[in-house]
Structures are given as C-alpha cells and as structure tokens.
Amino acid sequence: TEDSKLVQEGLKGESSITKIQSAGKGELIKGVVPIYPAGKGEKPVGVVIVNYFVPLSLVTKMAEISSTFAEYKQLKMLKNPIKTSYFITLSIVTLLIIFSATWFGFYLAKEITVPVQKLANGIHEVANGNLDLHIEAGTDDEIGSLMNSFNKMTFDLKASKSMLEEANIGLENTNIELDQRRRYMEILLKNVGAGVISIDKEGRVSTINKSAEKIFGITPEQAINKSYNEVFASEYLNGVKKLLEEVTCSTGGTIKRQIRLSLPDETLTLLISVAVLRDEDKNYMGLVVVFDDLTQLQKAQRAEAWREVARRIAHEIKNPLTPIKLSAQRLRKRYLNKFSD
C-alpha cells in the first residue's frame, strides 16, 4: 500500500518524506521521518508517520499561494531579462522621442529659416533697388504675415518711388523754368537802361543791374546781401536811403519821386520808383527800386527850350526889319533911274 511504501522509503534513510493525497472534501498530508539510534552513522531503526487533514478551502488557498509563489520564483528568475527588456524598450522609446524631436526641430527650423532666408535675400534685393520683388507667403502664421508685410512694404516703396520720380521730374522742370526765367530777368536787367535794385524783406540787396552799378559807382560785391542802409550809407546817397525808409514804413504800394543827387563827379537827376512786393497773403516780401536817369533828358529839354527861345527872339527881331526892307525896295525902284541919269 501507499503507507508501506512511505515506511520503506523512510527506512532507507531519507531525511523526510511528505505526500499529499486527496481525501473526500480535503487533502491528507502524510509526513514520514526516520528514527535513528543513539549512535551516528547507523541505519534508521524505525519511522514516524504523521497524517494531517486539510480542508478543501484551505487546500485551495494553499494551492493559490503555491502557484503565486511559483510564479514569483519564475518572475524572480526573469527579473533581469524583464529589466533588460524594459530598459531596451525605454531606450528605444527615448531614442524615438529624441529622433522625433530632432526631426521636428529641423522641420520647424526649416519652416522658419527658409522663409527668413528668402526675406533676407529679398531685403538685399530691395536694398539694391529691385522693388518688383514679390515673396510668396505660403502659410498663414506669423511668418506668412511677415512676408505679406514685406510685400506690402515693397509695393508702397515702389509707389513712393514712382511718386518721388514724378515729383523730381516736376521739380527739375520747375527748376529749369525758374532758371530760364532768372536768366531772362538777368539779361533783361542787364540791358535795361534804368537802374534796378531789389531788396528782400530783411532789407538786404538781392539784385542790382549794370545801370544801377554805373549810376552809384558800386560793384555787386559791395551791394549783394548787404543792407541798403550800408549800401546807401554815403552822404550824397542819403536822399535815396530816406526814400527807402519812408516806403518801408508806409503801407502804400508804389512811390515815385524825382531827386537830385550830387555825386563826387557829377550831379544827376533821378526819377525813383519804389514798388512794394507782397505775396498772395499780402505779406511783405521786399522792394523793387527803379532809377531813371533824367539828366541827359533834362539837358536835351533845356537845349530844346533854348533853341525855341532863340527862334522866338530871331522871329521878334525879324518882324521890325520887314517893313523897312519893303520901303527900301520901293524907294530903290522909284529913284534908281533918276540917280542913274
């Protein structure tokens, strides 16, 4: 039987033997321990057999504990391989994350650096004068907004450049026209017989023609950009200075006055016309002074007057001699023959 087998195994010198058998609603645990005599190294003289009945519920728990312990032992054996597999998995995931982050960084950098590079090249082109450049935005984010702003800037710069070129052309034409007018006025003032001097609102002489230079014996260097008080500071030009001061202080438009100037070499009779210059808003801009030399005209008028006086005197002298001449002619005709006889 089973028990005899256990006894025989115990007598063989086994340290302990445990057997589990099913028994109804539980399990029967049999334990066999050999009995040795007092001396060592001898064979067992007997065995002790112990039976312990374990209920089914406890058996089930024990089975679960045994199974769990077996799994634990198995897992303990697989601890290092599992740790290694987890480490490998974590490493792979980490590398994947790093690779993904690196790729995304390069991709994002490309999405930023390429448009920025285009923008930098565009700025260089615009700096070189190429205002026809247009950069495609491609996206609706901040970079795209920056591209659109750049395109708007180039468009505005092109429009401003066109307007500026048109304004420059108009300004050049205006300058040419003004220069032509200035040259015409210079030629006109140079060839006009009357002396002409213009004075700005600060009282400085701005232009003087040849006739005025000749009349007053001054050069352009002595008059241009000088105060008229300084130009006409000489005592013999005091009358001209007073007239200009009078016109400057008055509210009138034009004053004409004939004066005599006793210059060092000669005495001149001048008809001075002073016109006040005002702009569209009636603001004072300066004076234009015209000097007409009447000296030769007055001499001619005096000579003509003396000729008229001489003619009249001759006529008056001639009138009394006419009857005397007629009487002499009649007497001659009457008495010529008698005197001949």
CATH topology (fold) of 86-191: Helicase, Ruva Protein; domain 3 (1.10.8)
Cross-strand partners of 261: 268
pLDDT surpasses 80 at 193 = no
Domain ranges within the chain, ordered by starting residue: 2-77, 86-191, 192-293
**CB-based contact 56:25 (threshold 8 Å):** yes
Does the domain at 192-293 match CATH 3.30.450.20? Answer given as yes
Q: How far is CA 332 from CA 18, 138, 290, 322, 323, in A?
A: 216, 135, 67, 15, 14
Residue 279 has pLDDT above 70, yes or no: yes
Question: Distance (Å, rounded) from C-alpha 59 to C-alpha 267?
Answer: 158
DSSP 8-state class, residue 201: T
CA-CA-CA-CA dihedral for 292, 295, 297, 300, to nearest 10 = -170
41 vs 52: CA distance, rounded Å = 30
Buried b (16+ CB within 10 A) or exposed e, 123-137: eeebeeeebebebeb
**Which pLDDT value is given to residue 96?**
94
CB 6 within 8 A of CB 49: yes
User: Is residue 341's pLDDT more than 70?
Assistant: no
Report residue 59's pLDDT band, with 50, 70 and 90 as the boundaries. confident
> 122-126: long-range contacts (C-beta < 8 A, 24 or more apart)?
122/150, 122/154, 123/150, 126/154, 126/157
Out of 17-21, 198-202, 266-270, 304-308, the most confident range is 198-202
Mean pLDDT (the chain, rounded): 79
Q: Across residues 4-33, what is the average pLDDT?
A: 76
pTM comes to 0.44
Give the Å distances, CA to CA, from 78 to 66, 68, 73, 163, 195: 18, 15, 9, 84, 124
Find where tokens 């002396």 sit: 195
Q: Taking 80 as the threshold, does the pLDDT of residue 325 lie above it?
A: no
Contact 293, 215 (CB under 8 A): yes
Burial of 291 (C-beta count, 10 Å sphere; 0-12/13-18/19+): buried
Single out the residue of 258, 295, 296 nearest to residue 274, CA to CA. Answer: 258
Whose structure tokens read 């406890």? 58
According to the model, what pLDDT value does residue 95 have?
Answer: 94
- Cβ count near 233 (within 10 Å): 12
In this prediction, residue 326 has a pLDDT band, given cuts at 50, 70 and 90, of low
281 phi and psi angles, rounded to 5 deg? -95, 15
* Nearest-10 Cα torsion for 149, 151, 152, 154: 120
The pLDDT value given to residue 252: 61
pLDDT band with cut points at 50, 70 and 90 for residue 213: confident
As a whole number of angstroms, the distance between CA 264 and CA 235 comes to: 11
